[in-house]
Chain A
Amino acid sequence: MGDFIPFLFNGLSISSILLLTAIGLSIVFGMMGVINFAHGEFIMIGCYSSYIVSLVLGSEGSWLTLLLAFILSFILSFGIGYLIERLVIRKLYARPLDSILATWGISLILQQLARNIFGSNNVDAPMPKILSKGWEVTEDITLPFNRIFIILFAVLVCLFVYYFIYKTPKGRILQAVMQNRSMASCIGINTKKADAFTFSFGCGLAGIAGICISMLGSVGPSTGQNYIIDTFLVVILGGIGGLRGTILGALLIGISSPFIENFTTSSMAKVIILSLVLIVLHYKPQGLSPMKDRTID
């Protein structure tokens, strides 16, 4: 039992990171059908936002710098996302395979930009002092506060996104556009605006996830790349079409990871988890919690 708690905690911690990184992707992928391979770079933008804040306000972390970092990361990634949607993505809505290529190109450009601006070495972003400590549950078990913070934050973000998409008028408009574009346009919704907003919103969420990742260690131009495939797997394992699937996918992959790592190396664990996901997808190609739809293609 004593061993079980740290495993579960680790699992929840990994799940919450996966969930934070996947949620924006899931919205863009699920609602717009656009595959954003630059999603990882928006996470990277988030990471660097907290670094920028520390450059301006000094490297001493506090709750204020954290708050500012969150705000900056959302604004930056939302803004850049908006720009990219206007320039590139909006021309590719009916061409999912092409959107993969174009966003891959964008991701390469953003990585090189980061290398030119911040250098290719990793940088550290500060966080509030208290978060680097931990909660000593027993003598052997200490749960780091930063991980607890991330878990709580992930729950908060989920609730916010759920509320926003399903309960507010603006969210309903987005849903309407994604479900029936031409009908939405007929009743006077500006679908182009809705597209741009959805994409940028997804990017903004990635930026926020970036802050959380920067709390766990140093970050660099390729930080986003380390997360992108896992993130995609979470989304397709869960099934396209809603928050429910993404949460399910993140929890499954996240919680099983530390248990598998327990009896093998971490690289083998990764191989095993990826293979398990593929096996599940073989039996459920639409993911675990797909949205039923009448159209087949």
Chain B
Amino acid sequence: MKQKIICILVLAVIIILPVFLLSDFRLSILSKFVVFAIVAISVNLLWGYTGVLSLGHGVYFALGGYAMAMYMKLQAQPLPDFMEWSGIETLPWFWKPFQSLPFALAMTVILPVTLALLVGVPLFKSGTKGVYFTIISQAITLIVSILFVGQQGFTGGSNGITGFKGVFGYPIGDPTLIKILYGLAVAVVIAIYFVSKFMLRTHGGVIIQAIRDRETRLRFLGYRTDSFKILTLATSAAMCGVAGALFVPIVGIISPSLMSILMSTEFVIWVAIGGRGTLLGPIIGALVINYAKTSFSESLPEYWWYFYGFLFIAATLIVPKGIVGTLKEKEWFQNRFNKLKTEHE
């Protein structure tokens, strides 16, 4: 019990320290990484625990982001500038409700979940699985991103939506706002961590892991496995949407590049390197890889892509269990872990 309290204290210090140590610029980058950790948790729920690999999760993330961005844009300009450029003179009907914050916030979850259902229900019901789902998830993300780029007047086209005034009454870039957003991101990641933890402890958690290990057997036990896969996909999309909504005020822009296939694949590698099928793995993976990416692109941008490509190969050949999965297997770590556990009980 004592050790547990110490653990929590240390963790709290680690979380709070950056607020005092880092510059505003760096803190806001760190907040972005924390948002990515939320995405990683959601991808892991679907891939690491249910065994369904989506290479198109960027679309759920971006939809959440767009919903938030539409609200923030309307706060800055009654008629967004890109609409004027495209010759649209009145606000389109589907933009109007986004003037309200509660509506926009609800949409950050409703939009991705709706798409997830549109994708998941027909695909899983017809028995699409494995690599087929993976490839189709990519194609769907491609469809949506083509649509968003094509509808310049309604979505801001390939530039996306930017030029916000601010949020919560603070202008973008305000030091207080940056700290608030950091706190918010950390709070959400902790909340989502515990939501997943709770989900996996229920009988439903046992079921989805059984789907990952032996879906056919589960169907012959009488389970409608497709319903569970749809449910996990929707949950995962909702988490991604929340992350997208947090991303926009932190970074100040949302664009179709966030739903590109490159981005969506990046989500997966965070999980793979961190440790699929572990709760902490994706968080660590997202933080570590994004940190590496930022340092690389500041010093050796040329070589980042080689390293990045190598990461994918490493994640499958060298550390298939990821950082956390591999550590868990190490004996000293396991002993420590068990000791903690028994004390806890």
Residues of A within 8 A of B (CB): 35, 88, 91-92, 95-102, 104-109, 111-112, 116, 229, 232-233, 236, 265, 267-268, 270-271, 274-275, 277-278, 281-283, 285, 296-297
Contact = CB atoms under 8 A, between A and B. Distances in A.
B137 to A, nearest CB: 11
B54 to A, nearest CB: 11
Interface of B: 53, 55, 122-123, 126-128, 130-132, 134-136, 138-140, 142-143, 146-147, 149-150, 216, 261, 265, 268-269, 272, 302, 305-306, 308-313, 315-317, 320
A106 B142 contact: no
A101 B315 contact: yes
Nearest to A297: B216
Contacts of A112: 302, 305-306, 309
A267 B142 CA distance: 11
A282 B306 contact: no
B150 to A, nearest CB: 4
13 contacts: A35-B134, A97-B130, A98-B320, A101-B269, A229-B261, A233-B139, A267-B150, A274-B143, A278-B136, A278-B139, A281-B128, A282-B122, A285-B126
Label chain B's interface by main secondary structure.
helix
Nearest to B123: A282
Given A109-B306, A285-B128, A102 B317 contact: yes
A86 to B, nearest CB: 13
Contacts of B122: 278, 282
Label chain A's interface by main secondary structure.
helix
Nearest to A268: B150
Contacts of B150: 265, 267-268
Given A271-B143, A274-B143, A102 B313 contact: yes
Contact of B135 (A111, A236, A271): A236
Given A100-B134, A275-B143, A297-B216, A105 B302 contact: no
A267 B135 CA distance: 20
B126 A283 contact: yes
Contacts of A232: 135, 138-139
A164 to B, nearest CB: 26
B316 A101 contact: yes
B317 A100 contact: no
A285 B272 CA distance: 28
A106 B314 CA distance: 11
Contacts of B269: 101
Given A101-B315, A102-B317, A275-B143, A111 B131 contact: no
B139 A274 contact: yes
Contact of A278 (B140, B308, B320): B140
Contact of B142 (A97, A229, A297): A229
Contact of B309 (A106, A236, A265): A106
Chain A CB count within 10 A is highest, among B147, B150, B310, B313, for B313
A98 B53 CA distance: 10
Nearest to A283: B126
7 closest cross-chain pairs (CB), A and B: A105-B312, A109-B309, A108-B309, A112-B305, A98-B316, A105-B309, A267-B150
A108 B302 CA distance: 12
A102 B311 CA distance: 9
Given A109-B305, A112-B306, A275-B143, A97 B216 contact: no
